[in-house]
Structure 1
């Protein structure tokens, strides 16, 4: 996305109305998407405002960029759920997640891949009094910036990993200043260890450990991660938690 000067911050309600107006315009014009010039013409908003709103809408998963173009479209996929019975992956993983939350005391997340993004499907909160609720059901972010997404990314072949990293390059920098080199190194670290460790990128002061489960075709099916404040995640505990997640995923593999 091009970088342009932003206009002064506006009040919350006004910004919200503008964002909704932009989203409605994208949804009313599905086709091949709309460029920033198109959006300026249709909404009457200034280009810097459109860029700022698009960045926020993309980060929250409401809008996506169209590959190889400078056009955008509304994201019509709906994966946010309110009941575990609405998605078989949640129903499958829920007992393991509940057990992990009780064992670790921390927050446990179920994450899946949707092309270039990771999507959180469910979370379970442990009893420890300080929780890092890094994400929520329906939250989207570039694949790999969180521990669950990184566990999924590392299971893909090298060519696809590189394609995803390059596609998300402009967004990745918004997560704690992560660089493409760091992302590639995290993939290699995850493959070497057998589990992902990602800290201080998506959420400051948080560190997550994640493991992925593949289906019969060796494609990543889901990932489970545990996230806590960094002080609760020394290397030894990271390994212990990874072992607990892997044990849980083994029980799920027999049910696929």
Structure 2
């Protein structure tokens, strides 16, 4: 007998669904049209198992075969649309993001923490060439991004440890990878109430993030503004953007139910 079935998580765990999502997640920018063999190698599943999953996903309309390879169909977009339509924070945030972007002439985004990554859930872009093309659903490493550091600065210790223990690859020569140094950065972020990252994920990118809180005062998202080094130095960007970013986060937090004046008190709470 499978011992895992005797544990609560074992009884409630449906392995076939987990494997189905593993196959879906294996479709990415490096593998937009993989073969079943490619998917088996990436997921660690057997080729017969991958084939059955692909045929099921095809029946449901999420993938389709093309010349011996597989590709996602537009139906997968509905998964993200369902999140947007059922998650009130996105609807509430959109007008705030639009006003912030108009005020700063820079992109404005909202992100949440998912595992070791920060995920964009809403974004207003400016018409400008950036080295990193992001849109709702884009996932970036939490440890190397300003939004990820804001979210981690108010996260519980197990979540922080999970991210730091996963290791942080050096995306550029500026990327901070040492776990001890990252903990120090998170303490600073928690203390000052914002995070600025300059060239750690992409050498040409600067971003500033601040926390967004809900009715309980908990940090539920990070508000992000980003630009390129061709447009501003980190000091100039901070001087121009931080104040409207903080003001926008305060208004958004109020719309999410946070009582006025709570932010300063709650900022001191959390793991750090």
The TM-score, its normalising length taken from structure 1, stands at 0.64
Larger radius of gyration: 2
Alignment of 1:175-190 (within 5 A): 175-176=171-172, 177-181=175-179, 182-190=181-189
Q: How many residues align?
A: 199
Question: 1:93 is matched with which residue?
Answer: 93
Q: Secondary structure at the match of 1:137?
A: coil
TM-superposed deviation, 1:191: 1.9
Question: 1:234 is matched with which residue?
Answer: 234
Structure 1 residues 205 and 216, CA, compared in 2 at 3 Å: closer, same or farther?
same
Check the 8 A contact 1:84/1:94 in 2, yes or no.
no
1:173 to 169, 173, 178: 169
TM-superposed deviation, 1:144: 3.0
TM-superposed deviation, 1:230: 2.2
Q: In the aligned structure 2, how far is the partner of 1:81 from the partner of 1:174?
A: 33
TM-superposed deviation, 1:82: 9.2
Question: 1:18 is matched with which residue?
Answer: 34
Give unmatched runs, 5+ long, in structure 1.
Answer: 1-13, 27-33, 44-75
Q: In the aligned structure 2, how far is the partner of 1:92 from the partner of 1:104?
A: 20
Q: In the aligned structure 1, how far is the partner of 2:83 from the partner of 2:95?
A: 14
Question: 2:248 is matched with which residue?
Answer: 248
Q: In the aligned structure 2, how far is the partner of 1:178 from the partner of 1:20?
A: 37
The TM-score, its normalising length taken from structure 2, stands at 0.60
Matched, 1:225 2:224: yes
Q: Secondary structure at the match of 1:245?
A: helix
Structure 1 residues 15 and 81, CA, compared in 2 at 3 Å: closer, same or farther?
closer
Q: CA RMSD in A?
A: 3.5
Check the 8 A contact 1:134/1:202 in 2, yes or no.
no
Structure 1 residues 130 and 16, CA, compared in 2 at 3 Å: closer, same or farther?
closer
Question: 1:106 is matched with which residue?
Answer: 106
Check the 8 A contact 1:156/1:219 in 2, yes or no.
no
Q: In the aligned structure 2, how far is the partner of 1:22 from the partner of 1:201?
A: 31
Deviation sequence 1:187-239 (CA, Å, 0-9, x none):
12312321011121222210100011122444321111111012414325314
Question: 1:140 is matched with which residue?
Answer: 139
TM-superposed deviation, 1:245: 1.4
Q: In the aligned structure 2, how far is the partner of 1:214 from the partner of 1:230?
A: 30
Q: In the aligned structure 1, how far is the partner of 2:79 from the partner of 2:164?
A: 23
